[in-house]
Amino acid sequence: MLLALLASGCLVVWPIFGAAAAVSVFAAALLVIVVLHLYHISMLLNWLRHPTPEAAPQGLGVWGGVFAALYRMLRQQRRSESQLTATLQDFQLAAAAMPDGMVILDQTDRIEWCNPRAEQHFGLDRERDTGQQITYLLRHPQFAEKLRSQNYSEPLTLRQLRGSDLILSVQIVPYGDRQKLVISRDITDLERVETMRRDFIANVSHELRTPLTVVGGFLETISDMKAADNDLLRRSLPLMMHQARRMQRLVEDLLTLSRLESAGSPLRDEHVNIPDLVRALYHDALALSAGRHHVVLNVECEDWLTGSEDELRSAFSNLVSNAIRYTPEGGEVTISWQRRGDQAVFTVRDNGIGIPAQHIPRLTERFYRVDRSRSRETGGTGLGLAIVKHVLNRHQGRLEVVSEPGRGSAFGVLFPAQRVVPAETAETFASTA
């Protein structure tokens, strides 16, 4: 466009001032155009060293359009970068919040990225270990073999990682250009539940097998007799009755546990006269002891509780009967009901055989026994403390166990303030009952 205008001007100058003047004007104008372009090119080069939309140069003519286009392109690029950065940050935040571990590996199994949960699972450090071969850091033969074989269809279970009890389920997912995503999930609790389920089935089978064997053996002997043997019957029938009652107690405890664990069995809240309940348990303890122990009753308050009377009776009764069973003849058992601050506490204390410290955390597990042979001699089912635990969970209660081998045990049940009915209020309920 400029060249066309310049040529037109020369044609006008030529007839008036001659050819020499026209050439001089053309050369001068051409020089101005070249200088102008060089100036704009210089501005462009300077700007490209640190291109920011705010510092975009202003140009003349065609250069104004060029600079405006570059400004729009840079603004669009900045917006795209901001969106990508925000998306990446959202992904990292989401990955950090995931309960599963995530590790991204490149085609040579080097770590490109991992989330905080994976750092916990595998003992990694993202800043330190990025770019490292994962098999150098996760030294587990099964995991290394899984990567080598490229058989990723089934998850891998890893145990005893970094000397801990952690159990992980690890799934390797290939994607992209020979990259891999390693997903880890903590299944320690699931494995523990599965172990408890297997132990539960094995223990129930064992507990039922012994009495069934006794009853079946006597019945088989009696059925094989040609004539009735009164002496044998007198000896066998009491034994069979004892084993039948043992099976009945086991089945009843299992049904109680099933009901307590059932979501369809809501807690029936009522006002329970705990002082009278404790006194009744004291008389039950005297009957169970049959004079072999010194049983002491200590009712220091008259507060009631809100909850299920049947469930509370079952829990308290289990604690009392355990104390009688595991206290040698001549020992002392104390049954107490008292206040501790704004909480109410039911306690059964004995000076019996005691419990080693390593067994105390597992006492409320089903069929867990400190001494199996002694437990069977005393006639327990192994489910009593499991029932106590579930009853207390339903009443927001807490079990405290203090014990020392050879010096006895104290089982305390603490109830929160919202479950306690103060004595003065309890008297009102008692008078209207």
Last residue of a domain, one of 76, 92, 108: 92
Which tens digit of pLDDT belongs to each residue from 52-102?
777 777 777 777 777 788 778 888 888 888 888 777 777 777 777 788 898
List the end-to-end C-alpha distance of the chain, in Å, as a whole number: 110
Last residue of a domain, one of 161, 186, 211: 186
Q: Which domain covers residue 225, as residue numbers?
A: 198-261
Last residue of a domain, one of 186, 217, 243: 186
- Model pLDDT, residue 5: 52
Helices 188-224 and 230-261 cross at an angle (nearest 10°) of: 160
Amino acid at 381: T
β-strand pairing of 332-340 with 294-299 = parallel
CATH, residue 289: 3.30.565.10
Same domain membership, residue 362 and residue 235: no
Which tens digit of pLDDT belongs to each residue from 180-199?
999 999 888 888 877 777 77
At residue 310, does pLDDT exceed 70?
yes
pLDDT-derived band of residue 337, with 50, 70 and 90 as boundaries?
A: very high
At residue 226, does pLDDT exceed 70?
no
pLDDT over 90 for what percent of the chain?
A: 20
Q: Is residue 192 part of a domain?
A: no
Same domain membership, residue 280 and residue 401: yes
For residue 102, which of 76, 87, 122 has the smallest C-alpha distance? 122
Same domain membership, residue 275 and residue 220: no
265 or 320: which carries more pLDDT confidence?
320
pLDDT-derived band of residue 409, with 50, 70 and 90 as boundaries?
A: very high
Domain count, the chain: 4
Same domain membership, residue 235 and residue 374: no
The answer to whether residues 109 and 180 touch, using CB atoms and an 8 Å cutoff, is: yes
